[in-house]
Amino acid sequence: MKAMKRYNVWILNAAFLFGGVSLVACSQEPTAAQKEDTKKVAQFLQKAVETDNFGIVTGILATDKSKAEAVGDYGMTISNVHSKTSPVLEDLAKRKYVEVSQTLPEEKKTLVANLEKSDSLSFDKEFIDVQIAAQKEAVALYEEADKELKDAEIQSFIDQVLPVLKEHLKEAQDLKMAMVTPK
């Protein structure tokens, strides 16, 4: 009986020893590459939130100020799409423990202010020019993140949104061509 107790004690000690080793192995510090990817995810999420907020604000502005129906419709589309992706981005940020600011950066605030001040005759052209630049910037942001980020959830989000952003860019470019082409 004494031998059996010693055997059980050895098994328990071995279980605790190996269990402790596996716990230590699971709680390793993130590697430099993992830390860098986490940093890049945070930067991407912040820029993506800024892109969405800018799209929402300028899209609503276009629906209110545009004289051309096609430009107003485009603004509504931009606003609606970004209103749908914005909560997804916020959820991703929460799950990744990333705090994102909802405030537009100063250069975007300036663009919005200039659009608000523009008269109704020049608004459509200015809005489309701003949208072409914004969509190019958004596509570049998502393409870079697609190449650099390893996070599966972020990759899935990018795979869904990037084609839509490319379509928005094409639509803005088509609208600009329609505005300069005489009827």
pLDDT at position 8: 46
- Give the C-alpha separation, 79 to 46, whole Å: 18
pLDDT tops 60 at residue 21: no
Q: Report the greatest alpha carbon distance in the chain.
A: 102
At residue 160, the pLDDT reads 97
Q: Are 79 and 94 within 8 A, CB to CB?
A: no
Q: Is the pLDDT of residue 19 over 70?
A: no
The pLDDT of residue 121: 77
- Is the confidence at residue 111, as pLDDT, over 80? yes
Per-residue pLDDT tens digits for 36-88? 878 999 999 999 999 999 999 999 999 999 999 999 999 999 999 999 999 99
Here the tokens at position 36 are: 């860098």
Kindly state the average pLDDT of the residues 2-24: 45
Highest mean pLDDT among 35-44, 114-123, 136-145 belongs to 136-145
Each residue of 141-183: pLDDT tens digit?
999 999 999 999 999 999 999 999 999 999 999 999 998 876 5
